[in-house]
Amino acid sequence: MVASNTVWDNVKSFFEEIGDIAYFTGRFFREVFKPPFEFRELLRQCYNMGNRSMLLVGVTGFILGLVFTLQSRPTLMQFGAESWMPSMVSISIVREIGPVIIALICAGRIGSGIGAELGSMRVTEQIDAMEVSGTNPFKFLVVTRIVAATLMLPLLILLGDAIALLGSALVENIKGEVSFLLYFNQVFDSLKFSDLIPATIKSFFFGFAIGLVGCYKGYYCSKGTVGVGEASNAAVVYTSMLLFVIDFIAVFVTDIFFGI
């Protein structure tokens, strides 16, 4: 009886949370098109999320391309197919691995940052102070962060992809004596818009998910400093799961419209 009550409570709180997130998302769409617009704060957030994530994304992308090429090389060599390396790596990175890995990195860097920042603002009554001063904290804090994350993620992913290809080219140059020019010629020969466009569209959704979950968890944080840690942690965990769900849907939709 107790066990069934606990299960029922968990199911109930799960659906309540889904409802709360849906309401939060609805409120975002209501507020995002309504003036006054907080352009300065939006730019500040874009700078914080974009510029300050570049190094992390760059290093991750570089290592990703490097390792991916190093690991794939022996297998391709067994089949005498090293010449396919640029096209295989570029399609894999641009379509799937780049967006997902960079988005996961950003979920950790950006999502947890938003969750912790808003969470600490909530528990120290800073959000209440904004509300009492007659300013809409949702518009100032939440809308700007979600829009900034949605705009910055595609750019960060493009940057990460480019640097990953550079890392891959470096390995090919050292190990296979392939020139950078030849490598990138092959990359651009094999990449099509139908590879790039769905991946870019998908990355907007990744950014939206990172911003939304981070803001939701932080904005409704409670239980003091423990709650801030929980908000930050939950932002990363929930976002990471959501990214894979979005990725699955994106691949499914891409298959329908472009064919994989």
Interface residues with other proteins (CB under 8 A) are 36, 117, 120-121, 124-126, 128-136
Residue 211 CB, nearest distance to other proteins (Å)? 17
Q: Indicate the residue among 36 and 80 with the shorter CB distance to other proteins.
A: 36
Q: Which residues contact 53 (CB under 8 A, 6 or more apart)?
A: 106, 109, 110, 152, 156
Tell me how far apart the alpha carbons of residues 165 and 185 are, in angstroms, rounded to a whole number: 12
Residue 22 CB, nearest distance to other proteins (Å)? 20
Residue 12 CB, nearest distance to other proteins (Å)? 16
Q: Indicate the residue among 128 and 255 with the shorter CB distance to other proteins.
A: 128
Q: Indicate the residue among 52 and 192 with the shorter CB distance to other proteins.
A: 52
Q: Indicate the residue among 118 and 151 with the shorter CB distance to other proteins.
A: 118
Residue 212 CB, nearest distance to other proteins (Å)? 21
Pull the structure tokens for residue 227: 């709650």
